[in-house]
Structure 1
Amino acid sequence: MGIDIVNFYSSYGSYHNNLVNKAIHLVCIPLILLSAVQIMNHYTFTIDTGCCKLNIGLIMLFVLALVYMAVDFLSGILASSFYISVTLLLNQHFANADEAQWSHHLCVATTFQVTCWILQFIGHGVFEKRAPALLDNILQIFVAPDFVFLEIMFFLGYKPQIHKACQVQIENSIKQFRNDKKQK
């Protein structure tokens, strides 16, 4: 039993309908997640399992994988595989970093965080003309990385009936939002 993909995706999609805002999010959301996990590497415990070193960031990615697969199995597998693989590669790359490299790593990850968040707020304020979804539901932060994959997959023709149902619900939600805004 999964999560209703139409309602779940549409609740996110109604905040991301402008093409420029979508493009910003397609780039920034993966960078925000990956840089957040890298920042966590600096401030959390590490457990050496032999095959990899587990930390809070990697554990969080495994939990998110379950959520993503509950929304849509294929996109969940693809999204989770991407985020976990990149994280493991970055973790391996910086496993034996000296103090200067480790400090630079934190600086770069933090710069990605700040820059991407600013770009997303610009995308919402300037192009979407609507507050970010996370202001209505903070949990959107955790599911947005899967929505990036669904967005790309829908664009490539994945599950066209579901995509169409999502688009109808998104359009209705945006109309409702605009009507409510006019009435205020």
Structure 2
Amino acid sequence: MSSYFRRQLAEYVEYHRDPWNCAMHVFGIAFLFLAAVLPLSLWPITVFGFQTSAATIAVVPVLIYWFLLDFALGAAILGAAIMLLSVAAVIVSHATTAGMWSLTAILIVVGVASQIVGHRVFERRQPALVDNPTHLLLGPMFVMAKLFIALGFRRDLAIIIQGQPRGATS
């Protein structure tokens, strides 16, 4: 874990203390990611002889960024991204263009609404990205870090996010 990521995560956590807000983020982030890649999944691209989509190409830089912040979390997010890119590919292969755009709009509305509700209702403060726009890219890392901690992995992340590892006594 880079020291930059450690500092950013510690700052991000201050905006995400309420468990309901964190739950809203799981859905909101997944919906917004899917909404971002869905339209790009319409455009096939051939790279080095392999058929892919503009969505896959667009995701690569942010995946590299996440790997650089923390390799294990980045690898887990890669797995989630592959799943969401696959879902997007299935949707565009079965939906009309109008249907795909309608679904994209719904995903954006529900994704943004879940973030707003999480912060306004449960956290009672503005989202972290209002104060620091780079936090837009930390959401997926935070959600994956919470999953790792819940599964009993990454005591180093638990110290940052929870203040002490689960099961530790003061």
2: CA distance between counterparts of 1:41 and 1:88? 9
Q: 1:59 aligns with which of 57, 60, 68?
A: 57
Conservation of the 8 A alpha-carbon contact between 1:10 and 1:167? no
2: CA distance between counterparts of 1:2 and 1:66? 14
Gaps of 5+ in 2: 165-170
C-alpha change, 1:64 and 1:86, in structure 2 (3 Å) is same
Conservation of the 8 A alpha-carbon contact between 2:34 and 2:88? no
- Does the alignment pair 1:80 with 2:78? yes
The TM-score normalised by the length of structure 1 is 0.77
Q: 2:100 aligns with which of 91, 102, 105?
A: 105
Conservation of the 8 A alpha-carbon contact between 1:10 and 1:166? yes
Conservation of the 8 A alpha-carbon contact between 2:73 and 2:141? yes
Conservation of the 8 A alpha-carbon contact between 2:16 and 2:123? yes
2:133 alignment partner AA: I
Once the two structures are superposed, the pairs formed by residues 130-169 of structure 1 within 5 Å of their partners are 130-168=125-163
Once the two structures are superposed, the pairs formed by residues 15-94 of structure 1 within 5 Å of their partners are 15-41=15-41, 46-49=44-47, 50-55=49-54, 57-91=55-89, 93-94=91-92
Conservation of the 8 A alpha-carbon contact between 1:16 and 1:22? yes
1:110 alignment partner AA: A
2: CA distance between counterparts of 1:12 and 1:39? 29
Count of aligned pairs between the two proteins: 163
Conservation of the 8 A alpha-carbon contact between 1:3 and 1:70? no
The match for 1:175 is: none
Percent sequence identity over aligned pairs: 24
2: CA distance between counterparts of 1:82 and 1:7? 24
C-alpha change, 1:166 and 1:21, in structure 2 (3 Å) is closer
2: CA distance between counterparts of 1:167 and 1:148? 13
The TM-score normalised by the length of structure 2 is 0.82
The SS at the match of 1:139 is helix
1:31 alignment partner AA: F
Conservation of the 8 A alpha-carbon contact between 2:41 and 2:53? no
RMSD, aligned CA: 2.4
Summarize deviations over 1:157-180 as a string: whole Å, max 9, x none: 2221331134339xxxxxxxxxxx
